[in-house]
Amino acid sequence: MPFAEREGWEKSDSKFCGVETDFSDDFRSLLSFNCNTDHGRFDFVLAPLMNPSYRPSLVEGINSETQVLPFAGSDLVLAPLEWRCRVTGKISSWIDLDSEDETLRLDSETTLKQEIAWAKHLSLRSCLLPTPKTTSCANYARCVNQILKGYTEMELWLRIPLMDSDSEDPKDSWELWNSFRLLCDHDSSLSVALDVQNMLPSENALGRWFGESVKAAIISTQCFLPTTQWYPYLLKNHQKLITRFFHHDVQVIVSGKPVFNLQKDSVNVTEGMQAYLDYLSNLFCKIEPLSAQELKEVIHRDRLHTPLQPLKENLEAHSYEMIERDSVKYTQYQRAIAKALEERVPNEKASELTTVLMVVGAGRGALVRASLQAAKDTGRKLKVYAVEKNPYAVVTLHYMVKKRGWEGIVTIISCDMRFWSAPEKADILVSELLGSFGDNELSPECLDGAQRFLKLDGISIPSSYTSFIQPITTSKLYNTVKSINSLSHFSTAYSVKLHSVARLAPSQPLFTFKHPEFSRKPNNKRYKNLRFNLPSDTGSALVHGFAGYFETVLYGDVHLSIEPTTATPNMFGWYPIFFPLMKPVEVHPKSPIEAHFWRCNDSTKVWYEWSLSLPTLSPIHNPNGSSYSMGL
């Protein structure tokens, strides 16, 4: 039964467990034995499709009209749905398309194409390609690339050993994968099946793989240790790794023969493999289920969205609803407003003084509610101006004023804050104009226009915000942008709930804005270059782009953040931003990454430009805002 068949887990086909088998002429019995008996109730088999003794060169001269290829039975031995859902094809492991032996090389190419064609005939979802025999795999990749261009509905998984960097062969297996996929031009149908070894690489080296297209983890029975009661278990590091694979929708496949405790004589060998499945099922069940909010957000994982532009375009009701659902954000705002009120008005004058508070960009009134609640909690008197340019949100604001009895306290202003003439100065200016990158919804420009009606000693909430940048590996997002088949999309920033991503180095602060800013000529243009260094034990990696975050000081010690190391717990109102690179760049621990980011503007728009200067030069992305900009 699929691991995910329990409450609190999204039901996808990525939580199944398979078993690797030997070749069998009787595919029906093979499937039944491993999936429907006490020996094993696995969800699918990873099985050879062709007799391993077959070599095309050995059957030359046989009449091609009568030759029957030694496949494992006909397509009739299983129902079409069983072939598709219960079988992953295993391409013959002996093939070596880069061999110096011409006969072996030609036999390998012929056999590879025959087996893939048979798998396509059976409508298999995926096939496992054997590990390249040498680091030089150009011909192997060429043949696979030809196949990928012809079969777009079937995935090919390249088997790669997850080697320990301290092993006898210090060659980084990631390098082997990277060479192969570069030769295949990052084809989205080519993925990785990792062979988990007894010895694991470092935590940082392992982390790279979670930004790659890993579809399966093949774990040998040799990785398990038997207990005295004959119950296999994994050591802590292997448990942690498999748990991470579960979270990243990686299929788990058990490989090898049962390893028994020799002190126990009563073990039933025919039931041996089921014990491994039972252990993995138990390991899965110990994982904390997703929360209700996380379940709702599963559909947004690694999906690219165009960031909102509330200044240029009026938000729709469903956008407001999503924004307002984040109660943590408004709780923090309420705390910040309460602190500002207490510092603005002493306790002894709380019943005398009325604080003028302006909510600029009031939307449907969430910050108005937070402000009035803060006044109630602190016993302060408040006069509120709710300034909103969206005429349809203003309708809701009027409704809220009547429904909640805010008449005489809240004045609604239907106007762009930059052009309103306020009848009086504000003590406190409150806004929620922050985007995924802090300033990307034009908070600086909006507040520059609004702060003219803030008293010289007035308070702005937020008082400052800073954007952050981090180099990441994310094959999934890169391939998504690449599939759009337009270079302009590589010069576009996207809002995305990052999931299949490897963060290669700690994030660094980029642009900071502070409010109020009473400079006569505020300048919101910015430029900064940053250097990132990979941890020494990471190994090589591929940078597909940069993740962007922000953190803000609302007031005093009240903060909000989506930067991973300081993120506000349980807040979900913002997803990170993603800046892709046109061409992924290979990086190494001894070679720093130097990135350049610009925030530019003219009279009609604001935009970002970005590029790399180390370890190699990249084009400047989005010059003059040609692909992506924020309208003023």
Q: Write out 527-565 in H/E/C secondary structure.
A: EEEEEECCCCCCCCEEEEEEEEEEEEEEECCEEEECCCC
Does the annotation place 249 within a ligand binding site?
no
- pLDDT tens for 13-62 read 446 899 999 999 899 999 999 998 777 789 999 999 999 999 998 886 55
User: How far is CA 298 from each of CA 76, 460, 496, rounded to the nearest angstrom?
Assistant: 38, 35, 12
The residue annotated as part of the active site, out of 109, 212, 432, 551, is 432
Distance CA 47, CA 24 (A): 8
Does the annotation place 171 within a ligand binding site?
no
Distance CA 215, CA 13 (A): 11
Q: Which CATH class is domain 464-631?
A: mainly beta
User: How far is CA 361 from each of CA 333, 375, 391, 418, 443, rounded to the nearest angstrom?
Assistant: 14, 20, 12, 11, 10
Task: With cut-offs at 50, 70 and 90, classify the pLDDT of residue 194.
Answer: very high
Strands (E), 231-380: 232-233, 251-255, 354-360
Q: Looking at residue 273, what is its pLDDT? A: 87
**pTM for the predicted model, two decimal places:** 0.92
Does the annotation place 417 within a ligand binding site?
yes
Per-residue pLDDT at 431 exceeds 50: yes
Neighbours of 357 (CB within 10 A): 30
Is residue 441 flagged as an active site residue? yes
Nearest CA among 548, 523, 526, 509 for reference residue 445:
523
Q: Looking at residue 522, what is its pLDDT? A: 80
Q: Which CATH class is domain 333-432?
A: alpha beta
Does the annotation place 279 within a ligand binding site?
no
- pLDDT tens for 103-138 read 999 999 999 999 999 999 999 999 999 999 988 899
Task: With cut-offs at 50, 70 and 90, classify the pLDDT of residue 255.
Answer: very high
Is residue 432 flagged as an active site residue? yes
Contact in structure between 532 and 505 (CB atoms under 8 Å): yes
Distance CA 405, CA 334 (A): 20
Nearest CA among 228, 288, 285, 232 for reference residue 256:
232
Distance CA 554, CA 491 (A): 31
Q: Looking at residue 135, what is its pLDDT? A: 87
Per-residue pLDDT at 169 exceeds 70: no
Distance CA 41, CA 86 (A): 12
Contact in structure between 582 and 507 (CB atoms under 8 Å): no
Does the annotation place 320 within a ligand binding site?
yes
Task: With cut-offs at 50, 70 and 90, classify the pLDDT of residue 73.
Answer: confident
Q: Looking at residue 61, what is its pLDDT? A: 57
Does the annotation place 388 within a ligand binding site?
yes
Q: Average per-residue pLDDT in the chain?
A: 91
Q: Which CATH class is domain 17-289?
A: alpha beta
Per-residue pLDDT at 568 exceeds 90: yes
The residue annotated as part of the active site, out of 109, 441, 445, 551, is 441
Percent of the chain with pLDDT over 70: 93
- The domain locations on the chain are 17-289, 333-432, 464-631
Distance CA 560, CA 287 (A): 28
Task: With cut-offs at 50, 70 and 90, classify the pLDDT of residue 288.
Answer: confident
Q: Looking at residue 64, what is its pLDDT? A: 55
Q: Looking at residue 170, what is its pLDDT? A: 56
Q: Of the segments 196-205, 301-310, 353-362, which one has the largest average pLDDT value?
A: 353-362
Distance CA 206, CA 201 (A): 6
